[in-house]
Amino acid sequence: MLAAALERIVGVSHVLTRPPALLVYRSDGLPGHRALPSLAVFPGTRDEVIRVMRVLAETGTPFVARGAGTGLSGGALADGVVLLGLHRLKGILALDLDARTATVEPGVVNATLSRAVAPHGLHYAPDPSSQSACTIGGNIAENAGGPHCLKYGVTLDHVVRATVVLPDGEVMTLDRGEGTGYDLLGAFVGSEGCFGVVLDVTVRLTPIPEAVITLLADFTAVRAAADATSRIIAAGILPAALELMDQATIEAVESSVYAAGYPRDAAAVLLAEVDGAVAGLEEDAVAIERLCREAGARAVRVARDATERARLWQGRKKAFGAMGRVAPHLVVQDAVVPRTRLADLLEEIQAIGARHQIRVCNVFHAGDGNLHPNIPYDAEDPEASARVAQAMSEIMHRCIAVGGTITGEHGVGLDKLDYMPSLFSGETLDAMCTLRDVFDPARRANPGKVVPVRSCREWLVAPAARPTAPTPARLEARP
């Protein structure tokens, strides 16, 4: 019934209903969460998206929007509800070189946009590690970050305007308010697909820096690398990026096809980059080198050319992939702590890992205090999975205890739902539900994500807007 209505809009070949075909959409970038949509629909034009959304609204159907599915929070999983894939909308609609903005459709891949505007000396600054695959629409939903967000800011800092279709089918243009309205775009960006679907978005483009210097500092102790980070930040230097990788990560990267030439015997490396005007840049690099050495760096190497810089960065950006060599699955965690607490936290993380006999690989945005403790494991082994889950929970609660947060850029999705009540009061979670109701009173968009259901007072009164869904367990039991 619904499938037929959707097929009339997008064509038969762009609606999937059979479970084997839907298996592709069973997980996102985190293998620990799996759920099968009831149906997947892939509109190819803006008009088709609007018409699909209106059919979903008329039939009261819950849905989950999805870009490239590279998310790391389980946020793009549709558990027995409709999956709305937006990757076919790949148009770069307008380029305003004077205003330095681009208007793009949600399915445009992050790196594709940067490549398209590079001939004009511009790039799109937010650079999540998945940038060669992830979409701008997904970036908006997650308020995505990336290594260079230390200097350039996260997705929200680069979004000017968005035309969205709300869950009830209404089309609206949102902006930052600018003195004549509420910052509805600020609320929308990072709402993890719970507030509506982007039809087009105007993003700010950033000039490609005049000059770049990339350094690799090599430490014999993780504490020293974390200490160097704190010193650089405290000194008032604002690097374009400041990334820390520990021994376990270095080992995984150097054993893989992404080998970057990191010193295999180092306890940690710091990948630091400064960019901007030529004048003064060398001084910043020299200062970073001095601060690293003062913190105990064994050696500091400067990338000689663009090729060496690209190689150093490839190791960092492909580190998650490289961990595929270590174990079949990977928990990618995402938490933020005050930058002065990094060294202590890293030691505690190692201790927690040792206690649960798991290997924690740290690769993260040190300059922001944005930790990514990753654990390679085998998701099919229930005993190992339980130990991993327990260790992660302990790590997250330590991050909360020192004044941090449970996600810096990956979002809450499904994965971090349980930590929300530890971080926010009941009244605050309730206010988040109120905000969700402003955009989606029927709560049909990405149901069950971001804010735990029990936090929504009204949810307990109103019937859940979610049909009975086949459980993932039952689906997995199929031959």
The residues in 8-27 that bind another protein, with binding defined as CB under 8 A, are none
- Binding part of the chain for another protein, among 302-310, 332-340, 350-358, 469-477 by CB under 8 A, reads 332-340
Binding residue for another protein (CB under 8 A) from 403, 454, 464, 467?
403
Binding residue for another protein (CB under 8 A) from 3, 435, 442, 475?
435
Binding residue for another protein (CB under 8 A) from 337, 375, 414, 445?
337
C-alpha span between 67 and 70 (Å, rounded): 8
Give residues 227-256 in contact with another protein (rule: CB under 8 A). Answer: 230, 233-238
Q: Does 279 bind another protein (CB under 8 A)?
A: yes
- Work out how close the CB of 167 gets to another protein at its nearest, in angstroms, rounded to a whole number: 12
Binding residue for another protein (CB under 8 A) from 142, 200, 246, 415?
142
Q: Does 172 bind another protein (CB under 8 A)?
A: yes
Indicate the residue among 43 and 411 with the shorter CB distance to another protein: 411
Indicate the residue among 74 and 408 with the shorter CB distance to another protein: 408
Q: Does 67 bind another protein (CB under 8 A)?
A: no
Q: Does 153 bind another protein (CB under 8 A)?
A: yes
CB 341 within 8 A of CB 402: yes
Tell me the two tokens of residue 69.
């599915």
Indicate the residue among 7 and 183 with the shorter CB distance to another protein: 183
- Binding part of the chain for another protein, among 49-57, 63-71, 281-289, 347-355 by CB under 8 A, reads 281-289
Q: Does 190 bind another protein (CB under 8 A)?
A: yes
- Binding part of the chain for another protein, among 60-68, 152-160, 258-266, 322-330 by CB under 8 A, reads 152-160
Binding residue for another protein (CB under 8 A) from 5, 220, 437, 475?
437
Indicate the residue among 268 and 336 with the shorter CB distance to another protein: 336
Binding residue for another protein (CB under 8 A) from 104, 300, 450, 465?
450
- Work out how close the CB of 18 gets to another protein at its nearest, in angstroms, rounded to a whole number: 35
